[in-house]
Chain A
């Protein structure tokens, strides 16, 4: 079976996973004690029989649970995830607003953790047991073992209160509030508008939360890269590479690293999921208006349509990331059979 068939099969599998996620989310929101009408409509709307009836018809509340699920799914497929109780807007619009912020943040954090994780892991393996190796390993252990909330609070304290160089809350400073978003991704929008001052400001707002988010992942990547590189460095084919007269940079960066990346790739995929989970906490602490922040607010206000929407979206992103990783795996490692 080729890469193409494999990808198709994985996409089908992904769809099944998502169906599972929606079922789970649906069941949970239905087993929560209380009248879904009360839970979803709120007091004022409840007193209006017309709204109640419309709501019941739209979600099939007079039907059996499986039927309700099918109705929910068909609404979902049309982009209708219901209305957020708190914001009184369609959940899909809320997600469209908050998701880009988180996607940017998580991607930046992932990039940071991969870049630093790779650099540190390589240095650490090449200079094994030297002073720099011990130093790098100390950093990575710190990254792994510090809870994200603690790192977040400490960095806020340090950069905001003590040094006063951290930006305030939000994605942009107030001066740029007039900037109109096209895609919702500030990095893309600012570059396409040629507004590098906005790009700079956006990155300035993202960098602290991104670093906090990246910490643990970076530590894990550093460790994995180090250990798999050390493993690879004792392989016969590296002696062959040196016997060819290649210089040490090519030996490490081409012959060793490609092999060492194979076990590391899985970590990239898994850590993206961790990162998305971490955004709930970090975005709340840094008051950064993204999906994590939205999920947090929705949870504390028992805004079920919003919670379900956010859950499904996060599951979707996570699954797509893992799909990408698995496909990349097959590209890097020719031995992978599908």
Chain B
């Protein structure tokens, strides 16, 4: 891979709540290279969105606080920047697409206003220039009749079109990194396919680096170069796509893969990963996954495994410690 544009080191994002401290992201390291698509997978609540929002600087504090770590974007630590400097990066050099297209657009502002706004603040475009560029963007994301759409309001648009508008907003300033947090989860299956097709197209045209958060391993297999699997706030496996799918190591990832319909395995599907995601306020001793792990041994209950690096394929499991 070429030069990295994002490097996250030892990121710890904690929530300080009445129930205690939740380490939603608990020591996460990864990189994103130029033009790379990094897939992030994991069950609900494992800290994918919190990781993304930490990079964006969009977590509300309190309760959230970045307790440790560095987020190095183009060589500079975002966490050391002022609010103003971070605002200039947000929506400009790093942008984000959210899961909920139905509620992510402002109901009282026109589409043109909501897209044009980004161009006016970051690129200082005049009203007319911004309007022209907005029409180009709508065209780029495959919205028919952009001249008319620009005057419409979110309630007049379908979910798929709204998500296309969100993508247009994200693309407006030619960002070097787009974080897409489950961009298709909330959409109908047919619309999902269209949006994915669009994202793949755009990816080829624009070559932006993408962090793609999803539950859909099939999608990852199609578009990502590298994959990061998260569990209870930590990375449990990291590898390039081929190795992750062909030489899957972590029992959790194996469980996730087995739960994809269409993968032939003689296990009762409902049984693949037993139990629930652990409670962040009351994490199990030892390996966080051990209560649900078919292969767990005594050592798993007693000690926390570190992330073993096997020639770039990283895995947090004692099976690969060399002493299993």
Measured between beta carbons, the chain B residues less than 8 angstroms from A243 are: 56, 58, 90-91, 95-96, 98
Interface residues of B in 84-118 (CB under 8 A from A): 84, 87-92, 95-96, 98, 100, 103-110, 117-118
Contact of B91 with A258 in the complex, beta carbons under 8 Å? no
Q: Is residue B169 contacting chain A, with contact meaning CB distance below 8 A?
A: yes
Contact of B153 with A334 in the complex, beta carbons under 8 Å? yes
Interface residues of B in 53-84 (CB under 8 A from A): 56, 58, 84
Contact of A240 with B104 in the complex, beta carbons under 8 Å? yes
Q: Is residue B155 contacting chain A, with contact meaning CB distance below 8 A?
A: yes
Q: Is residue B121 contacting chain A, with contact meaning CB distance below 8 A?
A: yes
Contact of A335 with B107 in the complex, beta carbons under 8 Å? yes
Q: Is residue A200 contacting chain B, with contact meaning CB distance below 8 A?
A: no
Which of B92, B106, B110, B155 is within 8 Å of A241, CB to CB?
B106
Contact of B56 with A334 in the complex, beta carbons under 8 Å? no
Which of B95, B108, B110 has most chain A Cβ within 10 Å?
A: B108
Chain B 176-192 near chain A by CB (<8 Å), digits 1 or 0: 00000000000000000
State how many residues of chain B have any CB contact under 8 Å with chain A: 29
Contact of B106 with A242 in the complex, beta carbons under 8 Å? no
Give the distance to chain A from B54, nearest Cβ to Cβ, in Å: 13
Measured between beta carbons, the chain B residues less than 8 angstroms from A332 are: 108
Contact of B121 with A239 in the complex, beta carbons under 8 Å? no
**Known contacts A244-B118, A245-B87, A245-B89, A237 near B107 by CB under 8 Å:** yes
Q: Is residue B166 contacting chain A, with contact meaning CB distance below 8 A?
A: yes
Measured between beta carbons, the chain B residues less than 8 angstroms from A239 are: 58, 98, 104
Contact of B118 with A258 in the complex, beta carbons under 8 Å? no
A225 to B110, CA, bound (A): 23
Q: Is residue A333 contacting chain B, with contact meaning CB distance below 8 A?
A: yes
Chain A 225-246 near chain B by CB (<8 Å), digits 1 or 0: 0000000000111011111111
Give the distance to chain A from B241, nearest Cβ to Cβ, in Å: 28
A262 to B109, CA, bound (A): 13
Give the distance to chain B from A329, nearest Cβ to Cβ, in Å: 11
Residue on A nearest B122 in the bound complex, by CB: A245
A181 to B320, CA, bound (A): 95
Measured between beta carbons, the chain B residues less than 8 angstroms from A241 are: 106
In the complex, 22 of the A-B residue pairs with CB atoms within 8 angstroms, ordered by the A residue number, are A237-B103, A237-B105, A239-B58, A240-B104, A240-B105, A243-B56, A243-B91, A243-B96, A244-B90, A244-B117, A244-B121, A245-B88, A245-B90, A247-B84, A258-B108, A332-B108, A333-B108, A334-B107, A334-B153, A334-B155, A335-B107, A335-B153
Q: Which 3 A-B pairs have CB atoms at the shortest separation, nearest pair first?
A: A245-B91, A244-B91, A245-B90
- A residues sitting closer than 8 Å to B (CB atoms) are 235-237, 239-247, 250, 254-255, 258-259, 262, 332-335
